[in-house]
Structure 1
Amino acid sequence: MSSAELGFFVGAAPGLIYLVKGMAGFQREIVAAQRMAREGGDLLDMHFSFALKADYLLRPGNFVRSTDGPGLRRAKLHLLSVRRKFLATQAIGALMVAVGAFLGTLLAVIVR
């Protein structure tokens, strides 16, 4: 492995770790929301429903539907409450990966 490749991976590593930690935190929020829905007698299936994911990410106004039961509505509102933080965390992590990989590669080439 060349020094530039090593610099790339070393530079990108902190951003990747930040992204994975953010995804793990969001996964915990999904599990909590699924528990809320189950307690209300409903089912929240974020993992297998592409339409639900698309509504959550792209159309948050359509995420909570009028046909949702009280437990499902509570779970979806909980997920919407953490949406902005999750998206900001992912954007910051992506920026950290891009900048870190660039700087790591640049430094590896310069120092070599």
Structure 2
Amino acid sequence: MDLGLFGFLVGGAPGFSYVLTTMFRVRQAQAEAQKVARQHGEFLDFDSSENQSYDFLLNPRNFIKPSDGPGVRRGKNLLLAIRDKMWKRLWIGVILMIVGMPVGIFAAAAYTQYFLTPH
């Protein structure tokens, strides 16, 4: 593997792992929301509709529908409670990737220049 590619991947790895960890936490919160809805005898299937995902991510005022029961409302409120933190963590991960990848490439180039070339 080319050392520049290796630097690119290693530089982006912290941001990528941060994004993956965030998505794992969101998935756990979705499972908890479904559990809360089931405790009230209701069904919350977050993945059944594209509108729910869209509303959760980009239009939170429309995420809770008037037709939702109390269990689904509680579950959706749990999700809305983590939404802002989720977005902040995702942006931090993206910034880490944007900064880390060029830094990794530069570090690999500097390593090649100063340690692998004969002087």
Normalised to the residue count of structure 1, the TM-score between the two structures is: 0.95
Letter in 2 for 1:25: R
- Which residue of 2 is the match for residue 59 of structure 1? 59
SS at match of 2:64: coil
Letter in 1 for 2:61: G
| 2:56 counterpart of 1:21 | no
Q: How many Å separate the matches in 1 of 2:65 and 2:82?
A: 18
- Which residue of 2 is the match for residue 69 of structure 1? 69
Q: Encode CA deviations 1:6-40: one digit per residue, 9 max, x unaligned.
A: 00001111111111111111111000000011111
In structure 1, stretches of 5+ residues that fail to align are none
Greater mean deviation of Cα atoms: 35-44 or 51-60? 35-44
Normalised to the residue count of structure 2, the TM-score between the two structures is: 0.90
User: How high is the sequence identity, in percent, across the aligned residues?
Assistant: 37
In structure 2, stretches of 5+ residues that fail to align are 113-119
Dislocated runs of 4+, deviation >3 Å: none
Shift in Å at residue 63 of structure 1?
A: 0.3
Q: Encode CA deviations 1:61-104: one digit per residue, 9 max, x unaligned.
A: 00011110000011111110110011111110111111111110
SS at match of 2:110: helix
